[in-house]
Structure 1
Amino acid sequence: MSVDLKIIPNQLLDSYLQQLPYHLNVMFEQLRDAELSTVNFSFYTSVSSVFSSKIEGERIELDSFIKHKRDGIPFRADYTQKIDDLYDAYIFAQHNRLSKENIAEAHRLLSRHILNKSAQGNFRTQNMYVSTPDGKIEYVAALPFDIPVEMQKFYLDLETLINANLSIEETFFYAAMIHLVFVKIHPWNDGNGRSVRLIEKWFLAEKLGQRAWYLPSERYYYDQHELYYTNIRKLGLEYFELDYSNSMPFLLMLPASF
């Protein structure tokens, strides 16, 4: 389906659809919750929270977090609190519509122990550079005064896509493209990666139903985290010079997460 969008590119859609597994809908219908889940504990929300956090360098193990969250076994607060915050953001998303206001609220929840309160849910006002461990600049994000305009386009496109009649294949394409566009704008001081991996899955759930929350995409991205970052870098060094024609390797990672 051709959708008129302001910032989210769709020129690769036809090529993407030709490269997808033909049985994507069958794989999606086979997603199920885990037996470990209870009324008050979600196994796959734990998986999402732990592995999205591990991508950002948190030293947390899934088994430990499950013992903490499901069984009430105490751990040091500094070991679990950021993952607890992200877990709360996922639970919030599972019970609320994907929207501009709710994305800001999710960021407030997940950044409670990352950012000062004034920066939680609010756009950054400083320049943002993404650097390698050895100090090399690998990406220059959107400038602060460009963020409100770019994010307004993003939110308008998001609403358009939520209201559009998309196939499951098109939904996966746009979910991954939403991921790329948001992370390239990089609107927050911190918590951008955690936010966008949540938003990607939130969009899938908005379009395809609650079963999307069982997709272990964050775990796959962590297992392939070097490839994950390599594919994001393929678009270019500076925000207004990004080449989204190089997006295909990243776009194909989401359906591979089954």
Structure 2
Amino acid sequence: MLVIEGLQIIPKDLLEQYKTTVNEEALFTAFNQLEDAPLSTEEFSFYNSVASVYSSKIEGEAIELDSYIKHKRFHIEFQPDYTRKIDDLYIAYQFASENRPDKETFAEMHSLLARHIVSTNWLGKFRNQNMFVTTKDGRIEYVAASPFEVPSEMDKLYTDLEILLNTELTISETFFFASMIHLVFVKIHPWNDGNGRSGRLFEKWFLAQKLGNKAWFIQSEKYYYMQHATYYNNIRALGLEYPDLDYSKALSFLLMLPKSVTEKD
């Protein structure tokens, strides 16, 4: 049994159940079979494009992968508004692939991806107001951590991140904690906007730090988009308000990431 001392905010109660549910051998095999796409070059990453497009589509951006590849790989021009936010997210993925995640680099990552989402003075800065996640018809579906809690909750998450980066983990343990980082982050919801994009990138950033660059070839963002109703239902399942979140209900969400590797299109 894995023993990790000092985690402050990431719960690990579900880890053993998760490990009995996930087929470690199948995950290991599928992960090691991942390869970069022939379209990729030194200047262009196909899978960063996939991640940027589908993570943006989850947030409602009207962008298609084929069009974005034409724009990014073959320099075909589109209206700037069509590609601008996706370009920013692509740059953020590129930045993450070249840097270690910590408090400073994570803030810089948000400054890159949210350049055309939030005002300049809020790039990489925590919100100072209450945050309510609402449905399209205006109903409140989640009340995030209060702005007074956000700095301390994020410090706890950064502390846990550092502990996990320095702990030897199996591949299934790595996937478990990557998903937990994603989930805890989006529940804190520290930015004024760009939280979903940041959480999905954070998850993959951790995987790449632990498992190498092959992690960037995982199409998790596409999987979440194709299963977006399930994705949101699984996030929602923990509860309505931050102080009352029940992480014992997180297993369905946690299992989505390994499925994005082992389940074929």
Which whole-Å deviations, capped at 9, do the CAs of 1:194-251 have from their partners, x for residues lacking one? 0010000000000000000000000000000000000000000000100000000000
Q: Distance in 2 between matches of 1:185 and 1:247?
A: 15
1:102 aligns with 2:120: no
Between the aligned partners of 2:43 and 2:154, the Cα distance in structure 1 is: 34
Match of 2:245 in 1: 242
Percent identity of paired positions between Structure 1 and Structure 2: 63
Distance (whole Å) between structure 1 residues aligned to residue 128 and residue 245 of structure 2: 21
In structure 2, what residue type is equivalent to 1:202? W
Q: 1 CA distance for matches of 2:103 and 2:169?
A: 21
Residue 143 of structure 2 aligns with an amino acid whose one-letter code is V
Query: Aligned partners of 2:240 and 2:55: how far apart in 1?
Result: 24
- Residue type of the partner of 1:15? Q
What CA deviation, in whole Å up to 9, does each residue of 1:144-177 have, x standing for no partner? Answer: 0000110110100000000001111100000000
1:11 alignment counterpart:
13
Could you tell me how far apart the structure 2 residues matched to 1:80 and 1:2 are? 45
Mapped partners of 1:245, 1:76: distance in 2: 45
Q: TM-score, normalised by structure 1?
A: 0.99
Secondary structure of 1:176's match? helix
- The answer as to 2:61 corresponding to 1:58 is yes
Q: Is residue 118 of structure 1 aligned with residue 121 of structure 2?
A: yes
Quick one: which amino acid aligns to residue 16 of structure 2?
D
> Of residues 226, 231, 244 in structure 2, which corresponds to 1:228?
231
Deviations 1:25-83 (A, max 9, x none): 11110010000111111000000000000000000000000000000000000000000
SS in structure 1 of the partner of residue 141 of structure 2: strand
Pairing 1:176–2:179 present? yes
Q: Distance in 1 between matches of 2:27 and 2:54?
A: 23
Equivalent of 1:153 in 146, 149, 156:
156
Distance in 2 (alpha carbons) for counterparts of 1:165 and 1:39: 31
Distance, in Å, in 2 between the alignment partners of 1:231 and 1:162 is 26
Q: Which residue of 2 aligns with 1:212?
A: 215
Residue identity in the other structure for 2:144: A
Partners of 1:37 and 1:49 lie apart in 2 by: 15
**Letter in structure 2 aligned against 1:11:** D
CA distance in 2 between partners of 1:240 and 1:83 (Å): 33
1:134 correspondence with 2:133 = no
Secondary structure of 2:159's counterpart equals helix
3-state SS of the aligned residue for 1:144? coil
CA distance in 1, matches of 2:52, 2:3: 34
Query: Match for 1:8: what amino acid?
Result: I
Using the TM superposition, give the Cα deviation of residue 24 of structure 1 relative to its aligned residue in structure 2, in angstroms. Answer: 1.0
One-letter code aligned to 2:177: Y
Distance 1:97 1:157 in 2: 14
Report how far residue 257 of structure 1 moved. Answer: 0.3
1:21-40 alignment, distance < 5 Å: 21-22=23-24, 23-40=26-43
Secondary structure of the 2:133 match is strand
2:125 alignment partner AA: N
Cα distance in 1 for residues equivalent to 2:29 and 2:108: 33
Q: One-letter code of the match for 2:176? A: F
Which TM-score applies when normalising by structure 2? 0.97
User: 1:2 corresponds to which residue?
Assistant: 3
Per the TM alignment, residue 100 of structure 1 is displaced from its structure 2 partner at its CA by 1.1
Q: Which runs of 5+ in 2 are unaligned?
A: none
AA of the residue aligned to 1:10: K
Per-residue CA deviations over 1:9-36 (Å, capped at 9, x if unaligned) read 0000000000002321111100100001
What is the one-letter code of the residue matched to 1:246?
K
Query: When the two structures are aligned, how many residues end up with a matched partner?
Result: 258
* Structure 1 residues without counterparts, runs of 5 or longer: none
1:245, 1:89 → 2: CA distance? Answer: 32
